[in-house]
């Protein structure tokens, strides 16, 4: 990939890219975001996180950018809550994914587009107990949820890697699975499951269409397996030095680690 004459849009992953952990966002990174704004270069977040856990940490440092959440399922302007992209599962596919998790004895987190809640759990969730506590809320009948609600994704966070692999094998070709390490729960793994063929890049294209931006002049930053399509679609791909090998293989430029504020290097690659 070669750089375009100038960048029309900067798109960034969050965990492991924009920040190392969301409890401390490097002030230099926040300053770099403000510099982008001063240069009239829009910023779009693209993350596997749900809406609530995307909005909260950014708001604490005064940032309300538009965001593609849940690996491309939903695009929301964090400033006003308006949607620019929405791609829920077909009902039959959501039902099949839940059945796949259940076939290996797991009750996943189910993410939905609903005015009151963005994630629901059964009475016996299989995700990490701390993750379940962070979601909170009363238990839900997941069979009803997948049959009646706009389902955006599924996950298990902070569980043994073998359980992630087992669930991914059960889902198979039914939907798009992403396995990764858990940054929040050391030594544990994470699985997220998106509608088949869906990626963060879908949300980027929707945002470009909504804002009249050139998708051939996107600079993207990402570090994980769920960033592959984003990095492949971008004109310029920046990847932190501490990243999954599949992301590093797609890097036009390797930048410093998120823990060291490496994200600020975006300012050097705007064209």
Using DSSP's 3-state secondary structure scheme, residue 192 falls into strand
Q: What is the pLDDT, as a whole number, of residue 2?
A: 42
Judge whether 204 and 174 are in contact, CB under 8 Å.
no
Q: Which two tokens stand for residue 245?
A: 């090998």
pTM for the structure as a whole: 0.86
The CA R_g of the chain, rounded to the nearest whole Å, is 18
Q: Which two tokens stand for residue 164?
A: 């992630």
In which band, very low, low, confident or very high, does the pLDDT at 62 lie, cut at 50, 70 and 90? very high
CA distance 187 to 175: 26
For residues 43-65, average pLDDT: 96
For residues 75-90, average pLDDT: 96
For 91-194, give the CATH class.
Answer: alpha beta
For residues 190-212, average pLDDT: 94
Pick from 168-182, 209-223, 244-258: least confident = 168-182
CATH pick for 9-86+198-268 out of 3.40.50.300, 3.40.50.970, 1.20.1250.20, 3.40.50.1000: 3.40.50.1000
Q: What is the pLDDT, as a whole number, of residue 4?
A: 44
SS3 labels along the chain: CCCCCCCCEEEECCECCCECCCCCCCHHHHHHHHHHHHCCCCEEEECCCCHHHHHHHHHHCCCCCEEEEHHHCEEEECCCCCEEEECCCCHHHHHHHHHHHHHCCCCCEEEECCCCCCEECCCCCCCCHHHHHHHCCCCCCHHHHHHHCCEEEEEEEEECHHHHHHHHHHHHHHCEEEEEECCCCCCCEEEEEECCCCCHHHHHHHHHHHHCCCHHHEEEECCCHHHHHHHHHCCEEEEECCCCHHHHCCCCEEECCHHHCHHHHHHHCCC
Q: What is the pLDDT, as a whole number, of residue 176?
A: 86
Q: What is the pLDDT, as a whole number, of residue 256?
A: 97
The candidate with the shortest Cα–Cα distance to 219, out of 43, 84, 15, is 43
Q: What is the pLDDT, as a whole number, of residue 186?
A: 83
The percentage of residues in the chain with a pLDDT greater than 90, rounded to a whole number, is: 88
Sorted by where each begins, the domain ranges of the chain are 9-86+198-268, 91-194
For residues 48-74, average pLDDT: 95
Report which DSSP code applies to 83. Answer: E
Task: Name the phi and psi angles at 201, rounded to 5.
Answer: -60, -30
For residues 77-99, average pLDDT: 96
Q: What is the pLDDT, as a whole number, of residue 181?
A: 82
CA distance 96 to 220: 33
In which band, very low, low, confident or very high, does the pLDDT at 1 lie, cut at 50, 70 and 90? very low
67: which strand partners?
Answer: 45, 76
């Amino acid at each position: 990939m070669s750089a375009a004459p100038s960048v029309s849009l900067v798109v960034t992953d969050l965990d492991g890219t924009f920040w190392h952990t969301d409890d401390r966002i490097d002030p230099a990174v926040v300053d770099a975001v403000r510099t982008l704004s001063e240069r009239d270069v829009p910023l779009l977040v693209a993350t596997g996180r749900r809406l609530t856990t995307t909005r909260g940490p950014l708001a604490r440092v005064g940032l309300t950018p538009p965001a593609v959440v849940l690996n491309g399922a939903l695009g929301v302007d964090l400033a006003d809550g308006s949607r620019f992209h929405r791609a829920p599962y077909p009902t039959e596919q959501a039902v099949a994914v839940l059945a796949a998790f259940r076939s290996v004895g797991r009750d996943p987190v189910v993410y939905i587009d609903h005015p009151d809640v963005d994630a629901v759990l059964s009475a016996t969730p299989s995700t990490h107990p701390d993750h379940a506590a962070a979601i909170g809320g009363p238990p839900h009948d997941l069979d009803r949820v997948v049959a009646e609600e706009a389902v955006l994704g599924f996950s298990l966070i902070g569980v043994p890697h073998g359980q992630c692999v087992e669930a991914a094998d059960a889902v198979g070709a039914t939907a798009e699975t992403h396995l990764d390490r858990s940054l929040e729960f050391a030594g544990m793994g994470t699985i997220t499951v998106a509608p088949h063929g869906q990626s963060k890049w879908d949300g980027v294209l929707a945002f470009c269409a909504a804002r009249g931006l050139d998708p051939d002049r996107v600079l993207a930053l990402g570090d994980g397996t769920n960033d592959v399509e984003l990095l492949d679609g971008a004109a310029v791909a920046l990847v932190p030095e501490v990243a999954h090998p599949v992301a590093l293989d797609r890097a036009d430029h390797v930048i410093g680690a998120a823990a060291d504020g490496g994200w600020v290097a975006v300012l050097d690659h705007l064209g």
